Amino acid sequence: MRARTISAMVLLAMLALCIAAPSASAVSTDLQRVSAPGVDLWISDYAQVQYSEIVLLINYLDTPVVLQLREAASGENVTTYTLAPGSSEVYELVYPNLGQYTVVVGDLSAALIELPRERPATYLPPPRDSGWSWTRPDSSEPKIYTAADVAEMIADTISRITMEVWILTFITAIGGFAAGAAVKRSTLFLVPADVISIFIYAFVATDLLFDWTGLGIGLYYVPFIAGYLIGFFVAHVTYVMVQQDDLGNKTSTKRPVVLYSPNEEIGYCIQQQSNKALIKRWMGYHHRLGTDAGLAPDWADSTKYPYFPKFRRMVIMVEESVTEYEDKPFMKWFTVRTYTTYWQLSNASKFPKGMWKKSSAAIIWARDLINRLYGDLITERQKGQMVATQVAAEMHTYTIGRSTHRAIFDQFTGAVPPLNIPETQENVMRPVTRATAAPQRMPEDVEPEQTEREDKDELEEESEPTMEKKNRRKN
């Protein structure tokens, strides 16, 4: 059992030596075994060394073993290691100065192994074939990672993230959020495609590729950009949905228009979604907007496309849009083109809903009143025709046996008795139309009785018989 334990200790020690040896600056990895009672020291067989070398110490005793590196001239200890009983360890012996040294291995009572060492001014180890070779494996297929491997790598990565990293990531994301919101309110853009955002993207991409800042903070750009985009889309700017219909071409367009007001004198202006228009606005040249009514969206638009949720927006209906431009001088040799847009809104977008309902009621009342009065006009015309026919018949009867001139004279002087034709259902023809129905109620701000009376008087004056008009004109 003790032999198996010692063999396992030797194998583990040799494996650790093979792993650590490439990272050290030892002269040689070709070790030889130096034995003493209960102790084995694996060390290079060169007496001359460079700055350091690797050794393997195995302790088979039940007491600790001490490994010391001493200067030969003064006897001063340079390095001291203590190895526990029944264990093994790989050590690195460092020779700080040029000169003679002694490697001593012993227990607490006496030295068991003593080896001389020298660090010369210049030294090159003699060439020696190590006998190591590499054989290409038969299969070079890539490793297939399973879900367990991925989960293990993620867990290992998360375990290495400290609280300081979390705090810095949070602060960076908050800074990006604030920057995105501030840039959107400054540029009045709906998407992050303005000149400031483009400059930020170029700066981050350049630093990630070339690390020209030298800060080594490439990973912190990820939370910054994420916070910047979230802040940009969360921030709000004033815009309206404008719908314009072209009946001739059978097209209908809806576009968002960003509005802003630099001051009360200028009024509302349009911020076009282009960097050229943005730079003009920063220079003080605004795209002005003129309308013939208010800009309150009062049309509800609901659109549903397959595989997408329903879109509900309040829109403004524009019947006609005209844009004019003017070239204004800039400095001495340049000009800047400014624009002014005029919107002609549809009737429904010019009035609030309450006024529109009130106006529609007045229109319906006026329409019914016109229909009723027109029916009365037709009736009076029919009565006038009947009266004129009756008068002509009586004149014909009265003139029988008299001269025509005498009959006409008697008619105009009143010698003929007046005609009394009663209005009966038989001699009054009333057409059956919508005017016979009861008209709708007039709005409160209109007096229907007075208006109806005045209209009826005018119609009666127009519908008097032609002969009576002639008599009054002659008298």
Model pLDDT, residue 466: 45
Model pLDDT, residue 362: 67
Q: Which two tokens stand for residue 187?
A: 């540029």
Exposed / middle / buried, residue 247 (Cβ in 10 Å: 0-12, 13-18, 19+): exposed
Q: Which two tokens stand for residue 31?
A: 């070790």
Amino acid at site 266: I
* Integer Cα distance of 162 and 160 in angstroms: 6
* Integer Cα distance of 465 and 471 in angstroms: 10
What is the full DSSP assignment across 209-239?
HH-TT----GGGHHHHHHHHHHHHHHS---E
* Residue whose C-alpha is closest to residue 315's, from 243, 259, 252, 257: 243
Size of the chain in residues: 475
Exposed / middle / buried, residue 424 (Cβ in 10 Å: 0-12, 13-18, 19+): exposed
Residue 85: beta bridge partners? none
Model pLDDT, residue 21: 41
- Asked whether 286 and 338 are in contact (CB, 8 A), the reply is yes
Exposed / middle / buried, residue 232 (Cβ in 10 Å: 0-12, 13-18, 19+): buried
Phi, psi of 299, rounded to the nearest 5 degrees = -110, 130
Residue 134 CB coordination number (10 Å):
5
Dihedral (CA of 80, 84, 86, 90) sign: negative
Per-residue pLDDT of the chain (475 residues; tens, 9 = 90+): 455 555 555 454 454 444 444 433 334 456 888 888 888 998 887 788 877 888 999 988 888 999 989 888 888 888 889 888 888 888 988 888 888 899 999 887 788 888 898 888 765 555 555 556 666 656 556 777 788 888 888 888 888 788 888 898 899 999 999 999 999 999 999 999 999 999 999 998 888 888 777 666 777 888 999 999 999 999 999 888 888 888 778 888 888 999 998 887 788 899 999 999 999 999 889 999 988 777 878 788 888 889 888 888 888 888 888 889 888 888 888 888 999 999 888 765 655 555 556 666 767 777 788 888 888 888 888 888 888 887 777 766 666 655 666 666 666 665 555 555 545 444 444 444 444 444 444 444 444 444 445 544 544 554 444 444 444 444 4
Question: What pTM was computed for the model?
Answer: 0.45
* Integer Cα distance of 117 and 106 in angstroms: 17
Exposed / middle / buried, residue 277 (Cβ in 10 Å: 0-12, 13-18, 19+): middle
* Integer Cα distance of 432 and 316 in angstroms: 44
CB-based contacts of 96-101 (< 8 A; 24+ apart in sequence): 97/71, 99/71, 99/72, 99/73, 100/71, 100/72, 100/73, 101/69, 101/70, 101/71, 101/72
Contacts of 79 (CB under 8 A, 6+ apart): 67, 68, 69, 93, 94
Q: In what order do the strands lie in the sheet with 111-119?
A: 77-83, 65-71, 99-106, 111-119
Model pLDDT, residue 350: 59
Q: Where are the domains of the chain?
A: 2-119, 150-234, 239-349, 358-474
Model pLDDT, residue 398: 61
Domain covering 2-119: architecture: Sandwich (2.60)
Dihedral (CA of 464, 467, 472, 473) sign: positive
Contacts of 112 (CB under 8 A, 6+ apart): 36, 37, 38, 39, 65, 105, 106
Model pLDDT, residue 411: 62
* Integer Cα distance of 15 and 9 in angstroms: 10
